Amino acid sequence: MAHEIHAEMVANVLNVVAREGDALVEGDTVVILESMKMEIPVLTEENGTLTRLAVKEGDVVQEHDLIAVVE
């Protein structure tokens, strides 16, 4: 079953840490967001493979925007 990772706030995508095809373990960082001069790591909540990365560095995400899919 696919696990979607969504943005929790409006932020800039500062750094993309994981790449499509990477095997992820619960707690791994997928991307790092920047909001109000704070760096916020976005973590996966499940084990699996990153099958879709919906953002790139420099993108601006809105609350609830899709960041990635882990299957």
Q: pLDDT tens digits, residue range 12-49?
A: 999 999 999 999 999 999 999 999 999 999 999 999 99
Query: Taking a C-beta distance cutoff of 8 angstroms, is the pair 30, 22 a contact?
Result: no
Q: Is 5:69 a contact under the CB 8 Å cutoff?
A: yes
Report the pLDDT value the prediction gives residue 41, as an integer from 0 to 100.
98
Whether pLDDT at 69 is above 90: yes
> What is the pLDDT at residue 1?
80
Q: What is the CA radius of gyration of the chain?
A: 11
pTM attached to this predicted model: 0.93
The alpha carbon of residue 64 and the mean position of all alpha carbons in its chain are separated, in whole angstroms, by 12
The span from the CA of 50 to the CA of 71, in Å, is 7
